[in-house]
Structures are given as structure tokens and as C-alpha cells.
Chains A and B, each alone.
Chain A
């Protein structure tokens, strides 16, 4: 986990999950994302780093069309998931979001029971045939989110009653339960204490076995710890993108180097 060099991990680097070409995002007149090209590999953790307001969250939200819910937001360019244009007229954003799940900065469990929180996705997408299967999915998702042992005796207690770290893992379990192909995480640890952060980071590393994970983070240590690839954003531009080890040890761009060494941002 501490090893940042991709070459020793024996991952097929050509397996691209999401590919973005010349992506522009506008909020009204504000040009928030400029000309971003990026290839996000499958079954790997990709980290987006950069100073506040650099557009990394905006870009993340355009990967599952969450920006559609903001009326003044406009996306141009091409983003493909498994070679299919997600901004194509025929693509239903609702189905897209079932494939590209999202975990938010602040834990946002629904004011429902723990069980109902996790069962929410499978229920609306009709993923299970009966109660037993649903129970199975719920248990599996909670286990994957490393929460099962803590909540198995109180599945019907409200999810809002859990601690902050537990709530965030519940939200991850909720996202995992719909069996997405990609998991987008927008600063998932910024509202958590160090212990909960460590748990979630460990979890992210495990999720890599099944999903492609994209994580936005403010913490460079976190990016270094959990990701295999890192993209550095600055003022709406993608400055540098490459293997995490490379970005942190031998950055090509002077701006990346300044950010990593703490001179900007």
C-alpha cells in the first residue's frame, strides 16, 4: 500500500475505463474546467489533487453527470465510459449514475434505518428478486465497507445515529450496494478523524479489486497512500497526470513541484 510505483503492481495499464477529451465545464460565464484530457484506468485508484477551487470536484461531478442537477452548468467535449459517450443524447443519466456511483465529502445518510440506507440502491434498480437476496446484498456491502461487525445487531436503527466515520462507511456501503463499475469519491475523508480516515483509506484500497475508484483529495499524503495514478489540477487546467510515484518524486511541471513542496495552494 505504501508502494507508489505502478510497475511493480502488474496492472494492465491499457485497460481504460473512463476517457475524457477536451472537456470544458462552464458555470454560467465562468470557465471552470479548461481542455482536460484524462484516461482513468480500470481497477485502480486515481487521485485528483490541487488547490481549492481548481476544479477537481467539478470535473469529478461531470464524470457521472451530477452537474446536470445544477441549471447553470454546461459541459463540452467528450467523456466516454467503456468507449460510450456519456453525454450522448441516448444515455439516461439515471442509468449512468447507477454504473458510476458517488460518495460525497460530508457523510449524507438518508434519515432511514441502516438497512434501508444500503438497500436503497438495489431497491430502486430492482437488483434483487426477493428479501433473502436483498439481505445478502446488504450484508455483503456492509462487509465490504468494513462496517458489518459494528452494525449487524442494529440494522434497523437510524443511519443518522452512527458516528461520522461510520456514517461515511455507510455511504460507501450504500454506493457499493448498487454494484457500480466506477466509484467517485469527493474528499471522502475531509469530515473524518484520523482513525476513521485510516479505515476508509484501507477500504478504498480493497475496493480497487472490484471497481475503478476516482478520489478527490486535499491531502497529498492521502493521494500518495491510496492512489496509483494522480492528476494535478490548477486553475481549471489539468497540469500533470501520471503514475502517483512519478508525480510525487519526479514531477515534470514546475507548478506540480511547487504544489507538492508546499509553495502554492
Chain B
């Protein structure tokens, strides 16, 4: 197949992949038309004789053409870099890695040089031999690469050049092979599914079960990703606990990371900060949210409700960084100037109270919107029954509606709590970054999420306990919010059983 080889060799990767996808989809569209035509032919022009509508025959051909080919493309693109990296990195001897650098850095140079070679080859219409010849003049190569937009710190090492050349060649052959095999798979699917079309062929059942498989596959993607996240957390946490005793992590009361070693990494100050900030947030959000939900669902006229409810829900659409700004420049200084300093409780504008209040505002729509829906779901018969006995509206709300809606409201609050525990931005900007065990709500404190960010920022090498602790913290946080979510789901489900 010389045609695709020349077609894809010189082109940029993304372009050729785009072209490939277009070809596959084009084949699928052709397959759709062929499927319909063939089905009609087989029925002798009388579509009533078909088991399935002609459209289903087209659909089954379309699916069998496109889906396997697209799966091949996806899997190939995932695996190709892994295979090529492994092969190419074997070409670079340990002596070629400069002092103070690592194989990873050299490999990234290899990739950049390979990109540069691609650009030069495309610009100047070079053959493979001419590219190989460039290895003779490595100094000139650096400036040519510079012209092509790839700036390098030093001359290209011979081994790096060879590695880049191989990398580039393997990539290009890989892509060619991918294109050929994907198109072959698409054609095979087309021919196979078109050839089995008969009047009595159950195309509807086939294409519907095929689509069902697609649905199952999509849901597995989400589930598998979750497992992947958990696995990476667990693996890195295990690394951490090999370097740092789990006992100290769980029971030490100090958090004092030192990047030269010998740090105290006790989770308690962070856990305390997390719980304290979340508690303040819920203390603010739950009453406000719940009361506004009661107002909206029970007392507000239709017109008020149609304005106020969306207005509250706007709060949920504000990015948390904006809440953070609000905490930093408005709430923090206000609390400091009017409460903390006059009362002699602190001089910091970041405090638990600042972060808690602002986070509480963020949580109001969670509590109020969910509770509102839940209160509305209490059957009208309950209200009628209570009114019919001569209860006032407020007695009805307090004694019948709220108890009936309570499990659902608890679920709403727990969901809000897991949001609060996982919140980062508001805490960074509102509560500061000092890990402290203190009861004073006007003092700066910090939370698990903030420390995860600060332990990982600016460092790419995950080898010391000071960086690895982030994963252990993440795992604790995950366990915590997972627990809350499980409780919330359990409570909500129990509630649902009551009225359905």
C-alpha cells in the first residue's frame, strides 16, 4: 500500500489522525447508505418483508464499520508512545545523561529534537537519507532546529540525535501502520456487516445490542477511572508509609515539613483545620439554606419563587476562586478590623471564620436547592391532612413536613459537608496556610487540601516523604468524603422508599 504511506509520512501527527478519523467516519457513512440500499434490494423493493426497518440495517453497518476501527485507533494511540519510549530510551547510555540531569529530561530533549526534525523535513522536502546526513554537522543542526522553532540549550549529543531520528521514524511508521490497520478494520467491518444483510436478518436486535454494549463500555470508563485514581493514591501512600511511620502520621500533633529532612508530618493539625472550617461553613449554610428552602417551598408566591430560586442557584455557578477573592479582600479585613482586633483575638486577616463564612455562602445553594426539592416532594396529602385537622401553616411545616423531609434534608447537608471538606481555593485565600491546632476561630489555620497543593507545587520528583505525604493526605480526604457520600446516599435512598 504505497499510497497511505506517502500520504501520512510527511504530515503532522494531529493532522494525519484527523484525516484518518474523517476517512473512518466517511466509510461508516458510506456503509450506512449501502446497508439501507442492500436491505431494500434483498426485500425485493417491498420493505414490509424486512424483519427490521431499512434504517436499522444501515445503522448496524455503520456501527460495525466505525466502532471497531475507532477502538483500534484509540488503543493504538495509547500504546504507541509507551512502546516507542521504552525502545528509544534504551538507546541512550547512562553516560550520555549529563550531570545533574535525568533520563526523563534527556528523553524530553529527544522528543523536541524529533519534532524539530519533522518540521525541517516538512519545510525542505528532505528524504530520510538527507535527514540522517544532518547528524554529521551537529552544530549546524542546532541553529537549523532553532530556525524551526526548537530552541536548545546546547549542541545536540550524537546519541540524542540518533535517538531522535529513531523516535521520529518509529512514530511515522507507527502512524502509517495505524492508518492502514484502522482502515482495513473499518473495511472489514463494512464488508462483513453488509454481506450478511438478508430480509430476515435481525438488524434491529443486532444494532440495539451493539449500542447497549457501547453504553456499558462508557460506564466502565468512569468506573475504571475511579479505580485508577484510587490505585495511584494507594500506591503512592504505601511509598510514603515506607519512608515515614504510619503511627506518626496518624497520631502526631505537629505538622512541620522540612525539605532537608527530619520533618513532623502529623495529620491532626490539618484534619482539625479541615473539620473546623467545614463546621463553621455548615453552621452558616445549613440554617440559612434550610430556612430559605422552607420559605421558597412553602410560603413564597409563584412569582417570588421564580425569581429567588434561580438567583440563589447563581451562587453555585460562581467559581470558588472568586469566592476566595471575596474572602481575601472583603470578609477577611472586615472580620479583622471589627472583631479580631477589638476583641484582642488576633491580627490576621486570614482566619477560620473568614474561610468558613465565605464557604458557607458557597454552600447555601446546595442546601437550599436540594432541601427545596425534597420539601416539595412531600405529598400534598400530608399538608391537606394537617390543615384538615386545624393546624396552622407553621405547625404543619414544623410537625409534619420537616419530619417527613428530614432524611432527605440530612442527605443534602451531608453532600454539602463533603463539598466543604474538599474545598481548597477559599481556604487558601481565606484561612491561610499555617497548620495549627487552635480553638480560636479568628486565627489562621489550614486544611488538608491546601497542604496537598503546597507540598506538591514546584517539585516533580516524588521521592521524599515531604512530597509523598500529599498522597497519604489525599487518601485520608478521599476516605473521609467517600464515607460522607456513602452515608448521604444511604440516607437519601432510605427516604425515597417512604413515598414511592
| Residue numbers in B under 8 Å from A99 (CB-CB) | 390
Contacts of B392 in A (CB 8 A): 94, 124
> When the two chains form their complex, are residues A174 and B383 in contact, meaning their CB atoms are under 8 A apart?
no
Verify if A213 is at the interface (C-beta below 8 Å from B).
no
A87 to B391, CA, bound (A): 18
A100 to chain B, nearest CB (A): 9
Q: How far is the CA of A24 from the CA of B388 in the complex (A)?
A: 22
Bound-state Cα–Cα, A175 to B392, Å: 15
Instruction: Mark interface residues in A78-121 (1 if CB within 8 Å of B CB, else 0).
Output: 00000000000000001111110111101011111000000011
Within 8 A of A (CB), among B378-396: 379, 381-392, 395
Contact of A94 among B381, B391, B400 (CB under 8 A): B391
Say which residue of A111, A124, A160, A171 sits within 8 Å of B390 (CB atoms). A124
Number of B interface residues in the complex (CB < 8 A): 19
Residue among A110, A125, A160, A178 with most chain B CB within 10 A: A110
Q: Is the CB–CB distance between A97 and B388 below 8 Å?
A: yes
Question: Of all chain B residues, which has the CB nearest A174?
Answer: B389
Q: Which residue of A lies closest to B401 (CB)?
A: A110
Closest chain-B Cβ to A86's Cβ sits at a distance in Å of: 13
Complex interface bits, A117-158 against B, C-beta within 8 A gives 1, otherwise 0? 000110011000000000000000000000000000000000
Question: Closest CB of chain B to A238's CB: distance in Å?
Answer: 23
Q: Say whether A221 faces chain B, with CB atoms less than 8 Å apart.
A: no
Q: Is A46 an interface residue (CB 8 A)?
A: no
A101 to B386 CA separation, bound complex (whole angstroms) = 10
**Residues of A contacting B: mostly:** helix
Kindly list chain B residues whose C-beta atoms are within 8 Å of the C-beta of A64: 388
For residue A66, CB closer than 8 A to chain B, the reply is: yes
Inter-subunit contact B389/A175 (CB<8 Å): yes
Q: A112 CA to B383 CA in the complex, in Å?
A: 14
Interface residues on A, range: 20 to 34
Q: Does A69 contact B (CB under 8 A)?
A: yes
For the A-B complex, the count of residue pairs with Cβ-Cβ distances under 8 Å equals: 71
Contact of B382 with A97 in the complex, beta carbons under 8 Å: no
> Main secondary structure on chain B at its contact with chain A?
helix
Q: Complex Cα distance A66/B392, Å? A: 12
Q: Which interface residue of A66, A94, A112 has the most chain B CB atoms within 10 A?
A: A94
With A120-B399, A124-B395: A108-B379 Cβ-Cβ less than 8 Å: yes
Contact A69 B387 (CB under 8 A): yes
Interface centre among B383, B389, B498 (most CB of A within 10 A): B389
- Of the candidates B381, B389, B403, B498, the one whose C-beta lies within 8 Å of that of A97 is B389
Cβ–Cβ < 8 Å partners of A124 in chain B: 389-392, 395, 399
Q: Of all chain A residues, which has the CB nearest B385?
A: A108
A contact residues around B391 at 8 Å (CB): 94, 120-121, 124
Beyond the given pairs A102-B389, A104-B385, 16 more chain A to chain B contacts, judged by CB atoms under 8 angstroms and listed by A's residue number, are A66-B387, A94-B392, A97-B387, A101-B390, A102-B384, A104-B381, A104-B384, A106-B381, A110-B403, A112-B403, A121-B390, A124-B399, A174-B385, A175-B388, A175-B389, A178-B390
Interface positions of B (Cβ within 8 A of A): 379, 381-392, 395, 399-400, 403-404, 498
A/B interface sample: 24 pairs, CB < 8 A: A64-B388, A66-B384, A66-B387, A66-B388, A69-B384, A94-B391, A97-B388, A97-B390, A101-B390, A102-B384, A104-B384, A104-B388, A108-B381, A109-B385, A110-B404, A111-B404, A112-B403, A120-B386, A120-B400, A124-B390, A124-B391, A124-B395, A125-B390, A174-B385
